[in-house]
Homo-oligomer: A and B are copies of this chain.
Amino acid sequence: MSETILPTDLSMNPPAMRDRGAAAQALEDHVLLTELADEVRASVLARGRFRRYAPGAVLSDEEAMVRFVLKGALGTFAAVDFLCLTYFGPGAVAGLEAVGGESRGRVLQVVADAEVFELTARALIGAVGRREAERMLGLSATKRLAETETELTCLATYGIGPRLARWLLRLYALNPGHPVIMSQERLAQLLGAQRTSVNAAAHPLQEQGIVRYSRGRISLLDPGRLAALACCPPENHAPERPAPERR
């Protein structure tokens, strides 16, 4: 597929080229690929390409694509720029449901500057066989289902404050020690909330010296205190008992 090289293709982009070795290594280490025989894994690599996508990009494909996320994050959205339903951070795979012949009808959109390895579902099946592709689908879908159920629990149980804290930590984890580059408007879109609600929730965090906002950059001054305020922390567990309804 080298004929489809675009400016975002890592192979065309010198700074990205420097990362290509790391990206390829991340792919080879991917939990869904490690169990494959070497020649099968090589066949997967030969049938796809490394790509970089900018935040906000909507990935709509003519043919169903499977994307291994190596860096940054993608998400499925209820609508363009509205409510991230499923979050695909590093190690997650987007689009595997196409292996089962499902068309999702969701918007796939880039959440944070992303590097992915992508190939068509058809090419993946060609490389690993239908059975193995279905096994990948099963493992991936089960994990995503648990995450989406957690998201649902958060949304029903918690207000915007704890959800904002959780999202900030999630984005921070993509590049720990560095500011999260994201506008409050974009954050509100991810959360499916209004910007005014996010502003109101963000204000006390700044007041308490936990985060600092500055023109689209969000510095986490105290991730530990932020984690204490977040709902459904990284362990992704459901609350022991529901919090009082927020409506």
* Chain A residues at the B interface, C-beta cutoff of 8 Å: 76, 78-79, 82-83, 85-86, 97, 99-100, 102, 104-106, 131, 134-135, 137-139, 141-146, 148-149, 151-153, 155-157, 160, 192-194, 197, 237-242, 245-247
Complexed CA–CA distance, A148 and B104 (Å):
12
Q: Are B153 and A142 in contact (CB under 8 A)?
A: no
* CB of A160 to closest CB in B, whole Å: 8
With both beta carbons as reference points, the residue of chain B lying nearest to A76 in the complex is identified as B149
Count of identical protomers in the assembly: 2
Q: Are A197 and B155 in contact (CB under 8 A)?
A: no
Q: Are A192 and B106 in contact (CB under 8 A)?
A: no
Q: Are B82 and A138 in contact (CB under 8 A)?
A: no
Q: Are B139 and A192 in contact (CB under 8 A)?
A: no
Q: Which chain B positions have C-beta within 8 A of A155?
A: 152, 155-156
Q: Are B131 and A193 in contact (CB under 8 A)?
A: no
* CB of A133 to closest CB in B, whole Å: 9
* CB of A212 to closest CB in B, whole Å: 26
Q: Which chain B positions have C-beta within 8 A of A83?
A: 152-153, 156-157, 242
Known: A135-B135, A193-B247. 9 other contacts (CB 8 A): A78-B239, A83-B242, A86-B145, A86-B149, A102-B143, A134-B138, A141-B144, A152-B155, A193-B245
Complexed CA–CA distance, A82 and B83 (Å):
23
Q: Are A157 and B192 in contact (CB under 8 A)?
A: yes
Q: Which chain B positions have C-beta within 8 A of A138?
A: 99-100, 134-135, 137-138, 141
Most B CB within 10 A of own CB, among A76, A145, A146, A238: A145
Q: Are A104 and B134 in contact (CB under 8 A)?
A: no
With both beta carbons as reference points, the residue of chain B lying nearest to A81 in the complex is identified as B242
With both beta carbons as reference points, the residue of chain B lying nearest to A82 in the complex is identified as B242
* CB of A238 to closest CB in B, whole Å: 5
Q: Are A141 and B145 in contact (CB under 8 A)?
A: yes
Q: Which chain B positions have C-beta within 8 A of A151?
A: 152
